[in-house]
Amino acid sequence: MRADSTALSTRDTVENFLARLAAGDVDGVAALFAERVDWDVPGAVEVPWLGIRATRAEVADYFTTHPTYVTKEEFVVERTLVDGAEAAVSGRFRSRVIRNGAVMESWFVLQLTVLDSEITRYRFYEDSLAVARAWATTTTGADGRAQEAHSGTTD
């Protein structure tokens, strides 16, 4: 019985997180994290929103500052899998870097650990090379638009 109730609590927390994220509810998103969190979005150190965070306040800062760097054009969750306290969310996204107009597209997997209805571990895996290229883009193509960086997310 405990495993089922843990999985339900994990699923509820993850679904709540995704709903608050979609609504742009930064305070609500941050409130779902434990005070101490094991967070990593791996990638190039020159990309300001990537890296390690360790506290709820740092998580709130991430969700506050990330939209100052990129504009979300599409974020699609395709599947959520839950096993006890662990969850994996897979999907795809398309965003535009504000400073240069470069588009980045990638598949993603988000791994979360939920304990006592709080997110204690967060890993976001994406095409970090495409993200770094989009961030570093300073040139435009023949059509005057910024180059695109993607990992084959188009069908």
Cβ count near 152 (within 10 Å): 10
Compute the average pLDDT of residues 141-154. Answer: 50
Ranges of each domain in the chain: 2-150
What is the CATH class of 2-150? alpha beta
Whole-number percent of the chain with pLDDT over 90: 83
Please tell me the pTM assigned to this model: 0.84
Say if residue 49's pLDDT is above 90: yes
